[in-house]
Amino acid sequence: MLTEEFAGRVVTWFRKNGRILPWRVGRDPYRIWISEIMLQQTRIEAVIPYYHRFLEELPSLSELAVCDSDRLMKLWEGLGYYSRARNLKRAAEAAVEKFGGTLPRDAALLRSLPGIGEYTAGAISSIAFGLPEPAVDGNVLRVVARVTADPRDVLLASTKKDVTEALRLIYPTGQAAGDLTEGIMELGERVCLPNGTPLCESCPLKELCLSRKENLWEAIPYRAPKAQRRIVPMTVFLLEKDGGFALRRRGETGLLAGLWEFYSVERALTKRELPEYLAPLGADMASLTDLGKKKHVFTHVEWHMHAYRVRVSSLPQGFSLHGAEEIGDSLALPTAFKPFYEKIKKAV
Ligand code: SF4
Protein backbone atom coordinates (compact mmCIF):
# COMPACT_ATOMS: atom_id res chain seq x y z
CA MET A 1 0.00 0.00 0.00
CA LEU A 2 1.22 3.49 -0.77
CA THR A 3 1.51 5.96 2.08
CA GLU A 4 2.02 9.70 2.46
CA GLU A 5 5.52 8.84 3.61
CA PHE A 6 6.17 7.49 0.09
CA ALA A 7 5.09 10.83 -1.39
CA GLY A 8 7.09 12.88 1.12
CA ARG A 9 10.29 10.91 0.53
CA VAL A 10 10.03 11.25 -3.25
CA VAL A 11 9.34 15.01 -3.06
CA THR A 12 12.32 15.61 -0.73
CA TRP A 13 14.59 13.51 -2.94
CA PHE A 14 13.45 15.32 -6.09
CA ARG A 15 13.98 18.78 -4.62
CA LYS A 16 17.56 17.85 -3.81
CA ASN A 17 18.41 15.67 -6.80
CA GLY A 18 16.08 16.60 -9.68
CA ARG A 19 17.83 17.51 -12.92
CA ILE A 20 17.64 21.05 -14.22
CA LEU A 21 15.78 20.82 -17.52
CA PRO A 22 14.48 23.57 -19.82
CA TRP A 23 10.79 22.78 -19.17
CA ARG A 24 11.35 22.88 -15.43
CA VAL A 25 12.10 26.59 -15.55
CA GLY A 26 8.79 28.22 -14.65
CA ARG A 27 5.51 26.35 -14.67
CA ASP A 28 4.05 27.46 -17.98
CA PRO A 29 1.31 24.93 -18.89
CA TYR A 30 1.93 25.30 -22.64
CA ARG A 31 5.64 24.52 -22.29
CA ILE A 32 5.00 21.63 -19.93
CA TRP A 33 2.44 20.20 -22.34
CA ILE A 34 4.83 20.37 -25.31
CA SER A 35 7.65 18.78 -23.30
CA GLU A 36 5.40 15.97 -22.02
CA ILE A 37 4.23 15.09 -25.52
CA MET A 38 7.79 15.14 -26.85
CA LEU A 39 9.07 13.05 -23.95
CA GLN A 40 6.65 10.22 -24.61
CA GLN A 41 8.89 7.50 -26.08
CA THR A 42 11.89 9.79 -26.69
CA ARG A 43 14.95 10.26 -24.47
CA ILE A 44 15.37 13.55 -22.60
CA GLU A 45 18.70 14.36 -24.30
CA ALA A 46 17.14 13.88 -27.74
CA VAL A 47 14.11 16.03 -26.87
CA ILE A 48 15.99 19.15 -25.68
CA PRO A 49 17.00 20.55 -29.12
CA TYR A 50 13.54 19.80 -30.54
CA TYR A 51 11.93 21.51 -27.56
CA HIS A 52 13.98 24.71 -28.02
CA ARG A 53 13.41 24.79 -31.76
CA PHE A 54 9.67 24.20 -31.39
CA LEU A 55 9.20 26.95 -28.81
CA GLU A 56 11.31 29.42 -30.73
CA GLU A 57 9.00 28.98 -33.73
CA LEU A 58 5.75 28.50 -31.83
CA PRO A 59 6.13 30.23 -28.46
CA SER A 60 2.44 30.22 -27.54
CA LEU A 61 -0.63 28.06 -27.80
CA SER A 62 -2.36 30.58 -30.07
CA GLU A 63 0.58 30.50 -32.52
CA LEU A 64 0.49 26.70 -32.55
CA ALA A 65 -3.25 26.82 -33.30
CA VAL A 66 -2.73 28.78 -36.54
CA CYS A 67 0.60 27.33 -37.70
CA ASP A 68 1.00 25.72 -41.11
CA SER A 69 0.67 21.90 -40.92
CA ASP A 70 3.71 21.20 -43.09
CA ARG A 71 5.82 23.51 -40.93
CA LEU A 72 4.59 21.68 -37.84
CA MET A 73 5.48 18.30 -39.34
CA LYS A 74 8.91 19.64 -40.20
CA LEU A 75 9.45 20.78 -36.60
CA TRP A 76 8.45 17.32 -35.46
CA GLU A 77 10.47 15.42 -38.08
CA GLY A 78 12.67 12.82 -36.38
CA LEU A 79 10.64 12.61 -33.18
CA GLY A 80 8.30 10.00 -34.71
CA TYR A 81 4.65 9.48 -33.75
CA TYR A 82 3.51 12.31 -36.00
CA SER A 83 -0.09 11.95 -34.91
CA ARG A 84 1.05 13.57 -31.65
CA ALA A 85 2.07 16.73 -33.50
CA ARG A 86 -1.22 16.79 -35.38
CA ASN A 87 -3.09 16.39 -32.11
CA LEU A 88 -1.11 19.25 -30.56
CA LYS A 89 -2.40 21.56 -33.24
CA ARG A 90 -5.97 20.24 -32.99
CA ALA A 91 -5.88 20.62 -29.21
CA ALA A 92 -4.52 24.16 -29.51
CA GLU A 93 -7.33 25.04 -31.94
CA ALA A 94 -9.90 23.60 -29.50
CA ALA A 95 -8.32 25.45 -26.55
CA VAL A 96 -8.56 28.73 -28.48
CA GLU A 97 -12.17 28.04 -29.32
CA LYS A 98 -13.35 26.72 -25.94
CA PHE A 99 -10.97 28.03 -23.29
CA GLY A 100 -9.86 31.45 -24.50
CA GLY A 101 -6.47 30.30 -25.77
CA THR A 102 -5.18 28.71 -22.54
CA LEU A 103 -5.11 25.17 -21.22
CA PRO A 104 -7.90 24.59 -18.67
CA ARG A 105 -7.03 24.16 -14.99
CA ASP A 106 -8.97 20.93 -14.73
CA ALA A 107 -7.87 17.38 -15.57
CA ALA A 108 -11.24 16.34 -17.04
CA LEU A 109 -11.35 19.38 -19.34
CA LEU A 110 -7.74 18.77 -20.36
CA ARG A 111 -8.69 15.21 -21.29
CA SER A 112 -11.41 16.57 -23.56
CA LEU A 113 -8.69 17.98 -25.85
CA PRO A 114 -7.29 15.84 -28.71
CA GLY A 115 -4.18 13.86 -27.79
CA ILE A 116 -4.42 14.59 -24.07
CA GLY A 117 -5.06 11.37 -22.20
CA GLU A 118 -4.88 10.41 -18.53
CA TYR A 119 -1.11 10.68 -18.37
CA THR A 120 -0.69 14.08 -20.04
CA ALA A 121 -3.67 15.57 -18.20
CA GLY A 122 -2.15 14.37 -14.91
CA ALA A 123 1.27 15.78 -15.77
CA ILE A 124 -0.07 19.22 -16.79
CA SER A 125 -2.49 19.38 -13.84
CA SER A 126 0.08 18.51 -11.21
CA ILE A 127 3.20 20.20 -12.61
CA ALA A 128 1.67 23.38 -14.04
CA PHE A 129 -1.38 23.82 -11.79
CA GLY A 130 -0.38 22.04 -8.55
CA LEU A 131 -3.48 19.83 -8.61
CA PRO A 132 -3.44 16.41 -6.88
CA GLU A 133 -3.53 14.45 -10.15
CA PRO A 134 -1.10 11.55 -10.74
CA ALA A 135 0.54 10.97 -14.12
CA VAL A 136 1.36 7.30 -14.51
CA ASP A 137 3.93 6.26 -17.11
CA GLY A 138 6.22 3.23 -17.31
CA ASN A 139 8.69 4.67 -14.79
CA VAL A 140 5.95 5.35 -12.27
CA LEU A 141 4.44 1.89 -12.75
CA ARG A 142 7.82 0.28 -12.16
CA VAL A 143 8.57 2.24 -8.98
CA VAL A 144 5.11 1.68 -7.50
CA ALA A 145 5.00 -2.01 -8.51
CA ARG A 146 8.38 -2.58 -6.90
CA VAL A 147 7.68 -0.65 -3.72
CA THR A 148 4.41 -2.53 -3.21
CA ALA A 149 5.71 -5.85 -4.69
CA ASP A 150 2.70 -5.87 -7.03
CA PRO A 151 2.86 -9.11 -9.08
CA ARG A 152 0.27 -8.07 -11.70
CA ASP A 153 1.02 -7.40 -15.37
CA VAL A 154 1.93 -3.70 -15.54
CA LEU A 155 0.78 -3.51 -19.15
CA LEU A 156 -2.83 -4.19 -18.20
CA ALA A 157 -5.11 -1.17 -18.10
CA SER A 158 -6.59 -2.42 -14.81
CA THR A 159 -3.15 -2.36 -13.13
CA LYS A 160 -2.54 1.18 -14.33
CA LYS A 161 -5.97 2.27 -13.14
CA ASP A 162 -5.37 0.82 -9.66
CA VAL A 163 -1.92 2.43 -9.41
CA THR A 164 -3.42 5.78 -10.45
CA GLU A 165 -6.13 5.49 -7.80
CA ALA A 166 -3.65 4.45 -5.09
CA LEU A 167 -1.47 7.45 -5.92
CA ARG A 168 -4.42 9.84 -6.03
CA LEU A 169 -5.18 9.02 -2.40
CA ILE A 170 -1.76 10.23 -1.26
CA TYR A 171 -1.19 13.12 -3.69
CA PRO A 172 -0.27 16.51 -2.19
CA THR A 173 -1.27 19.86 -3.73
CA GLY A 174 0.68 22.93 -4.86
CA GLN A 175 4.35 22.71 -5.77
CA ALA A 176 4.63 19.29 -4.09
CA ALA A 177 2.11 17.80 -6.56
CA GLY A 178 4.37 18.60 -9.52
CA ASP A 179 7.47 17.56 -7.59
CA LEU A 180 5.90 14.20 -6.82
CA THR A 181 4.96 13.64 -10.48
CA GLU A 182 8.41 14.54 -11.75
CA GLY A 183 10.13 12.91 -8.78
CA ILE A 184 8.65 9.43 -9.25
CA MET A 185 9.44 9.55 -12.96
CA GLU A 186 13.00 10.65 -12.41
CA LEU A 187 13.51 8.12 -9.65
CA GLY A 188 12.32 5.43 -12.06
CA GLU A 189 14.68 6.65 -14.71
CA ARG A 190 17.82 7.16 -12.65
CA VAL A 191 17.54 4.93 -9.58
CA CYS A 192 14.90 2.23 -9.95
CA LEU A 193 16.34 1.41 -13.35
CA PRO A 194 14.32 -0.21 -16.14
CA ASN A 195 17.21 -2.33 -17.41
CA GLY A 196 19.77 -3.59 -14.97
CA THR A 197 20.04 -3.70 -11.23
CA PRO A 198 18.17 -0.90 -9.43
CA LEU A 199 20.34 1.35 -7.29
CA CYS A 200 18.50 0.50 -4.08
CA GLU A 201 21.21 1.81 -1.78
CA SER A 202 20.73 5.34 -3.22
CA CYS A 203 16.94 5.12 -3.22
CA PRO A 204 14.89 7.29 -0.87
CA LEU A 205 12.27 4.51 -0.78
CA LYS A 206 14.59 1.72 0.29
CA GLU A 207 13.12 1.39 3.80
CA LEU A 208 9.59 1.14 2.39
CA CYS A 209 10.26 -1.07 -0.61
CA LEU A 210 8.94 -4.64 -0.47
CA SER A 211 10.79 -5.73 -3.62
CA ARG A 212 14.07 -4.72 -2.06
CA LYS A 213 13.20 -6.51 1.15
CA GLU A 214 12.25 -9.70 -0.67
CA ASN A 215 14.76 -9.35 -3.51
CA LEU A 216 12.07 -9.32 -6.19
CA TRP A 217 13.36 -6.61 -8.51
CA GLU A 218 14.03 -9.05 -11.36
CA ALA A 219 10.45 -10.38 -11.33
CA ILE A 220 8.74 -7.01 -10.81
CA PRO A 221 7.43 -5.25 -12.81
CA TYR A 222 5.89 -8.28 -14.51
CA ARG A 223 4.99 -8.04 -18.19
CA ALA A 224 3.15 -10.75 -20.10
CA PRO A 225 5.05 -11.76 -23.27
CA LYS A 226 4.25 -9.56 -26.29
CA ALA A 227 2.75 -10.65 -29.60
CA GLN A 228 5.28 -10.71 -32.44
CA ARG A 229 5.52 -7.80 -34.87
CA ARG A 230 4.02 -8.21 -38.33
CA ILE A 231 6.65 -8.25 -41.08
CA VAL A 232 5.70 -6.27 -44.20
CA PRO A 233 7.96 -6.79 -47.25
CA MET A 234 7.98 -3.67 -49.40
CA THR A 235 9.41 -2.48 -52.70
CA VAL A 236 9.88 1.30 -52.75
CA PHE A 237 10.23 3.31 -55.99
CA LEU A 238 11.81 6.75 -56.05
CA LEU A 239 10.22 7.73 -59.35
CA GLU A 240 12.00 10.56 -61.10
CA LYS A 241 10.60 12.86 -63.78
CA ASP A 242 11.82 16.24 -65.04
CA GLY A 243 14.32 16.48 -62.15
CA GLY A 244 11.68 15.92 -59.44
CA PHE A 245 10.60 12.90 -57.40
CA ALA A 246 7.10 11.49 -57.05
CA LEU A 247 5.56 11.83 -53.60
CA ARG A 248 2.11 11.79 -52.13
CA ARG A 249 0.75 12.59 -48.72
CA ARG A 250 -0.45 9.59 -46.70
CA GLY A 251 -4.04 9.53 -45.43
CA GLU A 252 -5.17 11.35 -42.31
CA THR A 253 -5.40 8.21 -40.19
CA GLY A 254 -3.25 5.15 -39.58
CA LEU A 255 0.49 4.64 -39.54
CA LEU A 256 2.49 7.79 -40.45
CA ALA A 257 -0.74 9.65 -41.21
CA GLY A 258 -0.29 12.95 -43.05
CA LEU A 259 3.40 12.39 -43.90
CA TRP A 260 4.81 12.15 -47.42
CA GLU A 261 5.73 8.88 -49.08
CA PHE A 262 7.34 7.44 -52.18
CA TYR A 263 5.47 5.03 -54.40
CA SER A 264 5.65 1.55 -52.92
CA VAL A 265 4.26 -1.94 -53.27
CA GLU A 266 3.76 -4.19 -50.26
CA ARG A 267 5.67 -7.09 -51.80
CA ALA A 268 9.31 -8.07 -52.16
CA LEU A 269 9.46 -7.85 -55.97
CA THR A 270 12.21 -9.66 -57.79
CA LYS A 271 14.15 -7.75 -60.49
CA ARG A 272 12.27 -9.76 -63.11
CA GLU A 273 8.95 -8.57 -61.72
CA LEU A 274 9.87 -4.85 -61.69
CA PRO A 275 8.99 -4.08 -65.35
CA GLU A 276 5.46 -5.38 -64.81
CA TYR A 277 4.89 -2.69 -62.14
CA LEU A 278 6.84 0.05 -63.87
CA ALA A 279 5.85 -0.34 -67.54
CA PRO A 280 2.49 1.50 -67.11
CA LEU A 281 4.50 4.51 -65.86
CA GLY A 282 6.68 4.60 -68.97
CA ALA A 283 9.75 3.56 -67.00
CA ASP A 284 13.20 3.90 -68.50
CA MET A 285 14.58 0.60 -67.20
CA ALA A 286 18.09 1.59 -68.30
CA SER A 287 18.05 4.27 -65.59
CA LEU A 288 17.05 1.87 -62.80
CA THR A 289 19.37 2.19 -59.78
CA ASP A 290 19.27 -0.22 -56.88
CA LEU A 291 19.27 1.87 -53.66
CA GLY A 292 19.60 -1.15 -51.39
CA LYS A 293 17.61 -2.68 -48.56
CA LYS A 294 16.58 -1.24 -45.18
CA LYS A 295 14.51 -2.44 -42.29
CA HIS A 296 12.34 -0.07 -40.25
CA VAL A 297 10.77 -1.16 -37.00
CA PHE A 298 7.50 0.32 -35.71
CA THR A 299 5.71 -0.76 -32.55
CA HIS A 300 3.64 -3.52 -34.18
CA VAL A 301 5.03 -3.72 -37.69
CA GLU A 302 8.41 -4.10 -39.40
CA TRP A 303 8.92 -2.82 -42.92
CA HIS A 304 11.52 -4.78 -44.87
CA MET A 305 12.17 -2.42 -47.77
CA HIS A 306 14.09 -2.68 -51.03
CA ALA A 307 14.27 0.62 -52.94
CA TYR A 308 14.95 1.60 -56.56
CA ARG A 309 15.40 4.91 -58.30
CA VAL A 310 13.94 4.98 -61.77
CA ARG A 311 13.07 7.59 -64.42
CA VAL A 312 9.49 7.51 -65.63
CA SER A 313 7.42 9.48 -68.14
CA SER A 314 4.19 9.53 -66.11
CA LEU A 315 3.26 9.38 -62.42
CA PRO A 316 0.94 7.04 -60.55
CA GLN A 317 -2.40 8.59 -59.61
CA GLY A 318 -2.30 10.89 -56.58
CA PHE A 319 1.45 11.60 -56.81
CA SER A 320 3.10 14.96 -57.51
CA LEU A 321 6.67 15.97 -58.29
CA HIS A 322 8.99 17.60 -55.76
CA GLY A 323 12.62 18.65 -56.00
CA ALA A 324 15.15 16.98 -53.70
CA GLU A 325 15.72 20.28 -51.90
CA GLU A 326 12.04 20.90 -51.32
CA ILE A 327 11.71 17.42 -49.85
CA GLY A 328 14.56 18.13 -47.43
CA ASP A 329 13.41 21.63 -46.49
CA SER A 330 9.67 21.52 -46.24
CA LEU A 331 8.09 18.08 -46.59
CA ALA A 332 7.96 15.73 -43.62
CA LEU A 333 9.25 12.38 -44.80
CA PRO A 334 8.98 9.37 -42.45
CA THR A 335 12.31 8.28 -40.94
CA ALA A 336 11.79 4.91 -42.68
CA PHE A 337 12.37 6.52 -46.12
CA LYS A 338 15.17 8.86 -45.09
CA PRO A 339 18.12 6.55 -45.97
CA PHE A 340 16.85 6.30 -49.57
CA TYR A 341 16.23 10.03 -49.79
CA GLU A 342 19.78 10.70 -48.51
CA LYS A 343 21.12 8.53 -51.35
CA ILE A 344 19.26 10.41 -54.08
CA LYS A 345 20.12 13.78 -52.53
CA LYS A 346 23.81 12.95 -52.71
CA ALA A 347 23.45 11.78 -56.29
CA VAL A 348 21.34 14.74 -57.56
S1 SF4 B 1 14.47 0.35 -3.22
FE2 SF4 B 1 15.26 -0.44 -5.11
S3 SF4 B 1 13.61 -1.64 -6.05
FE4 SF4 B 1 12.74 -0.37 -4.41
S5 SF4 B 1 12.01 1.47 -5.45
FE6 SF4 B 1 14.06 1.89 -4.71
S7 SF4 B 1 15.42 1.37 -6.41
FE8 SF4 B 1 13.43 0.45 -6.83
**What is the residue-wise DSSP string for 32-73?**
HHHHHHHHTTS-HHHHHHHHHHHHHH--SHHHHHTS-HHHHH
* pLDDT at position 143: 98
Residue (of 223, 200, 199, 205) closest to 151 by Cα position:
223
Distance from C-alpha of 341 to C-alpha of 297, rounded to nearest angstrom? 18
Query: At a CB cut-off of 8 Å and minimum separation 6, what does 7 contact?
Result: 170, 171, 172, 176, 180
* pLDDT at position 317: 92
Is the CB of 90 within 6 Å of ligand 1? no
Question: What three-state secondary structure class fits 252?
Answer: coil
Q: What ranges do the domains of the chain cover?
A: 4-213, 230-347
* pLDDT at position 348: 64
| Residues tagged active-site | 36
- pLDDT by residue (tens digit) across 88-114? 999 999 999 999 999 999 999 999 999
Residue (of 60, 58, 49) closest to 22 by Cα position:
49
Residue (of 348, 334, 346, 272) closest to 305 by Cα position:
334
Residue (of 260, 234, 240, 302) closest to 69 by Cα position:
260
What does the longest C-alpha to C-alpha distance in the chain come to?
73
DSSP E strand boundaries for 154-313: 230-241, 244-249, 260-261, 263-265, 284-297, 301-311
* pLDDT at position 228: 87
* pLDDT at position 1: 83
CATH superfamily of domain region 4-213: Hypothetical protein; domain 2 (1.10.340.30)
- Ligand 1 mean position to 23 CA, how many Å? 27
Is the CB of 9 within 6 Å of ligand 1? no
Which overall architecture, per CATH, does domain 230-347 show?
Alpha-Beta Complex (3.90)
Q: Consecutive 10-residue runs of the chain (348 residues): their mean pLDDT?
A: 95 97 93 95 91 96 95 90 92 97 97 96 98 96 97 95 97 97 97 94 97 94 89 96 93 86 95 91 91 92 96 94 89 92 82
* Test site for ligand 1: of 2, 187, 200, most ligand atoms within 8 A of the Cβ: 200
Distance from C-alpha of 255 to C-alpha of 122, rounded to nearest angstrom? 27
